Each structure stands twice: as structure tokens, then as C-alpha cells.
Structure 1
Amino acid sequence: MLDFGVNPVDFRCHYQQRAPYRMQAALTPSQRPSWSLLDQLLDRIEPGDQRLQLYRNGPVAPAQYLGYRVHDGQARHRLIPSRIYDLLRGGASLVINRVEHDDRMLMQLCASVSKFCDVPTSANAYASFGGDGTFGMHWDTHDVFAVQLIGRKRWRLWAPTFPLPLSHQPSRDHLAPRDTDPMVDVTLKAGDLLYIPRGWWHDVRPLDVGSLHCSVGTYGPTVYDYLQWCLRQALSEHLDARQDLSVSNADSYAIDSALQTLIAFADSAEKRTAFQRALREPATPNAPISSAPR
């Protein structure tokens, strides 16, 4: 579906986890949705699943866009789209997480990125009519393919100060590079694609025009993931690894024995193949390895 403008091999060699990449008109005009897509998403989202959030100088209280309806004799929350649109016109930004199963076109976007990168994917949708944006300057702990569906949006990117963060290493624990000029400053137009490697600082700003974009996150395994898998596979059956350990009574022989067992297990092409095979049979289709999309 997406025209990446580069083949997967060249992308992995020159851009993947190395540098941002922009492709103009990755979606043809006939592939781009109308605002009815947002109407459909709002119609399908259940208010209680917390996938939908509004931000304006922080989270917007759900009471501002939720109402009640009576169903089977019980009062239940419901989204009120007119209130959501009023909030958007007032400068709020809307985020809907994991939208790949809510719309066929968004599912195809995820499938296109997944095939291109050969990893699981998930997608979030972002809508705004102006305002100051959603998260401020931050990094993501997964690679992102941002696809501008409607309107325009400004993206500014800075090089990593902590390269390749893992899922438990968010940007809020680090100082942002506020005194340096961005390495990338670009306005995406409808149909454009921007690849942001994990760990790259970015600040995304709405313009004075309606914008809807989809961020497709990729969740490939890391060496850290592989070694965690090896720990579970190899050492739970190893007697020395199951010994009690205390600061005052550390058995150096047991530690060395367990480490040697782990190294021998991990340094095996057969075990790496088994790990990759296990990833291809996830419990939940398209689920990330160890993190949730943002």
C-alpha cells in the first residue's frame, strides 16, 4: 500500500535505527481517507477502554466529552463526537491507540510497514485542528513510521542523547536537547511518510489546519529480548543458577557455571532460529515484544 521509495535492504543498511527518512507522496490521493475516517473511529471506540485520550495542556478530563445513554435499562457512558470536535477546535489534540483493527485502511497501513520491516506493528491515530501538540519533546522506545493522512503537521527531530532505548527507558528520565537546532525540520503534507528511529527526540506541532496522521510503531526483537529468552530457556533447568544467592554468601563458582551455560546456549545459531520461530507464533497477533505503542 505504501510507496517507501527504497527497497528493504537499502533501508536497513542506510536508515533503520540510524537516521530519519522521508518519503513524499507515499500514499496516492486515491488512497488517502476523508474526515469520515475519524467519525468511524469515534463511532467504534468504547468509552471505557481508555484507548481514546484528549490533551490540551495535559490530559482533558473525560467528563468533558463523555455522556450517558440508557441501554438494556442501564445508564452507560458514551462518546459525544460533537464535544470532541469542539475541544479539537479549541486547541486540543486527540489520540486513539491501537487503531489497526478499527479500520481496514489502517490495518493495511500496518501490514505494509510490517511486511517492509518484517516485524510486528501497531498504530495510533492523532487528530488536531491547531494548538500546541500532545507530548512535547520526547523519544519513542520503538521505531515509528508517521503517515500524514489529512492536512499538514510540523515535525522537528534531534539526534539521540541515549541511543536505542529499551521499552523501560522512557525519555522523561532524560534531559531534552533544548539548546540545539533540530537535525530535521519538516512539514508533512497529506500522503507523506516520515521514519523516526527509536531514541530520536521529536517535537510534533499542529498547524492552523486540520490534521490527521497515523503513527505505525514497529516492534522488532532486540539482543536484550534474545538474552532474556535465553535466561528463561537455559538457566531454569540449571542447578547452579537455582541456588540461593546473598550478598554475604555469593558462590562465585555457581555464578561462573551459570554464566558459561548461558553463553554456550546463546551462542548458537540453532537457538537464535528457535527464538525467531517463537516470535512468529505470538499469543496475540501484531502484539509488541515488550512494550505498548504510544
Structure 2
Amino acid sequence: MLDFGLSRTEFFSSHFEQNPLLVHGALGGKPLFAWSDVDDILHAWNVAEADIELRKGHVISPELYVQSYQDIDDRRLRLLAAEVRRYIEEGATLVMRRLDLRCRKVARLCDCIAEYTGHRLVADGYVALRGEGAFGKHWETHDVFAVQLLGRKRWRLYRPTFPLPMPEQNSFAREEDCPARPALDIWLEAGDLLYIPRGWWHETLPQDGMPSFHVAAGAHTGKVADYIAWCCDRVLPDLLGARATLRPGADNMSVLRELLDEMPRRLLDERLVNAFLRQIQAMGNHPYPGITNWSETGLKG
């Protein structure tokens, strides 16, 4: 489904957590989506789950484009299509979160990237027509694989000022740190793929008047800090020193030194590392395989 243009070895040695990667025509010239597919997704969307929003420098109040209605015996919510379209035409971006759970095509796209990288991914979708983008200049705390599906979009990437941020280390209070000049200023066309390492500043800008739809698949990886915390939950309770009590006036430093002398040997257990990685892998979402792939001529008894 996707051609990354280089081997996994080359990707991890030259790009992963280091440098962006742009692949023109990664989808092989075959359109994966039509605009009618986007409308089909929105038609089936459960608006009550609140995973959809309009942004124009800020979150637009859902009360302005979501309506409550009576559906036989239930009260439901639905998008007011005319209002959503109006906001998009005025420069807002429609953000569809966890699109991988709601669209098999996007789920397969994530699975294809996961096979290449070895990491599980989740994806959000973005529809825009004009304006200044949904979020302005910011960095992500996960690696991003952006795939342009319809239309085109401008991406400006700026070098990181805080490399490899952890999930809680976002850029919201650090906008002034973003470099003035972009390291990469490109247009993504339909079928193109762009890899953005976590921590790289970026902003997206639609071409005025041209509808754009792209998905951003985020790779949520197991960090070294995650592994150490995971080990502490599993290893420390087995060590007598970890079960000891720290108390005022006691020789607490000796207790801690003795425990910390033992920890490197425990942490550097390859079997434990592999168990951690298996658990990370098991948390991923896999595409729904489907039940209707039988022959049109029917099944033989």
C-alpha cells in the first residue's frame, strides 16, 4: 500500500528520531480516497463520542455545528453539514480523531506503517480549505507519518529546540522558542508521505480555495524511561531493599545505595527488555479483517 522509498535499515539509521523524510507518490499513484468517502465517514460518526471538532486558532464551540435530535426512542447528536462546510470555507479545519477506529482504509494505512517501523500507530484526519491551519506552530510528542489523501497542503518544518519530548512535554508554553526559518518548506500532493520526528516544530497551511484531506498517523513508542518505570513495577517488589521503609533519622542513603547497586543488573536483562517490547506491541490496534470476503457465487457446502 505504501512505498517508503528506502529500506527499514536506512530509515532507522538516517531518519527515525533524527530527520524528516519526504516520499513523493508513496501511495503508488492510486487514489485511496474520494471526497464521498469522507462524507461516508462523517455520516456514520457518533458525534456523542466527542472525537470530532472544528478549529480556527481555537476550538469552535460544538453548539454552533452540532444538533440534538429525537431518533425514535433515543436522543442523538448529529453534525449540521451546512454549518460545518461554512466554517471550513471560512478557514476552519475539521479534525477527526482516531480515524483508524472508524475507517478500514485508514486502519490499513496505519498497519502498513506499523509493519515497516515495528511500532503501533493511531491516526487523526484533517479537512481544510483555507486559513492558518488547526494548531499553528507546534511539536508533537510522538513521531508522525502524514499522508496526503486528497488535495494538497503546505508543510513547514523547523528544527527541534527540545529534542525527543516525552508525552507530557508539549510545546504549548514554548511557542517563542520555534526557529524563525523553516528547515523544510514543501507542498504535499495527494499520495505523498512525510515523516516528522517527535520534537520537530511544524505548521500546516492549505492552499487557499483547494480542499485538502490528510491523515496524521502517530507512532506511540516505548521510551527508555517507560521501560525503567515498567521494570520498577515488576522488579522492585522482588527486592528486599525496595520493600524497606524510608524514615526520618534512619540511614536511608545506605538502603538506597544497596538497592541501586543491584538495579543495573536487573535492568540489563534482555529477556525483560523483550517482554516490555512485546507488551508495547500488543497494545496496538489492528484493522478489522472483515467477514464478507466470500465469493459472489456463494459458498460450497
TM-score by length of 1: 0.91
Q: 1:134-283, aligned counterparts within 5 Å?
A: 134-178=134-178, 180-208=180-208, 209-245=210-246, 249=250, 251-282=252-283
List gaps (5 residues or longer) in structure 2.
287-301
Give the Å deviation of 1:101.
Answer: 2.2
Aligned to 1:11: 11
Question: Residues 275 and 74 from structure 1, CA distance in 2 versus in 1: closer, same or farther, beyond 3 angstroms?
Answer: closer
1:147 and 1:246, CA in 2 relative to 1: closer, same or farther beyond 3 A? Answer: farther
Pairwise mapping of residues 30-49 of structure 1 onto structure 2 (< 5 A)? 30-49=30-49
Task: Point out the more displaced range, 134-143 or 67-76.
Answer: 67-76
Q: 1:57 to 1:247 in 2, by over 3 A?
A: farther
What is the RMSD computed on CA atoms of the aligned residues?
Answer: 1.7
In the alignment, the residues of structure 1 paired with residue 189 and residue 281 of structure 2 have an alpha-carbon distance, to the nearest angstrom, of 35
User: Which blocks of at least 5 consecutive residues in structure 1 are unaligned?
Assistant: 287-294
More deviation, 61-70/109-118: 61-70
Distance 1:17 1:174 in 2: 20
Alpha-carbon deviation of 1:261?
A: 2.8
Is 2:95 the partner of 1:85?
Answer: no
Contact preservation (8 Å) 2:158, 2:184: yes
Q: What is the letter of the counterpart of residue 191 of structure 2?
A: G
Percent of aligned pairs with the same residue?
33
Q: Does 1:96 align with 2:96?
A: yes
| Alignment deviations for residues 155-212 of structure 1 (CA, whole Å, 9 cap, x no partner) | 1111111110011111113244455211000011111111100000001112211100
Note closer, same or farther for the CA distance 1:247–1:2 as it changes in structure 2 (3 Å cut): farther
1:122, CA displacement in angstroms? Answer: 0.5
CA–CA distance in structure 1, aligned partners of residues 175 and 85 of structure 2: 34
Residue 152 of structure 1 deviates from its aligned partner by 0.9
Conserved 8 A contact 2:52-2:96: yes
Cα offset for 1:246?
5.4
Q: TM-score, normalised by structure 2?
A: 0.89
8 Å contact kept, 1:128–1:206: yes
Cα gap change, 1:250/1:203 in structure 2, threshold over 3 Å: closer, same or farther?
farther
For the residues of structure 2 that align with 1:185 and 1:15, how far apart are their CA atoms?
17
Task: Count how many residue pairs are aligned between Structure 1 and Structure 2.
Answer: 285
Superposed displacement of residue 98, structure 1: 0.7
How far apart are residue 49 of structure 1 and its match? 1.0
Change (3 A) 1:124 1:202: same
When residues 256 and 198 of structure 1 are mapped into structure 2, their CA distance, relative to the original with a 3 A threshold, is same
1:11-59 per-residue CA deviation (whole Å, 9 max, x = no partner) reads: 1111111100100011134333111121012112211211101111311
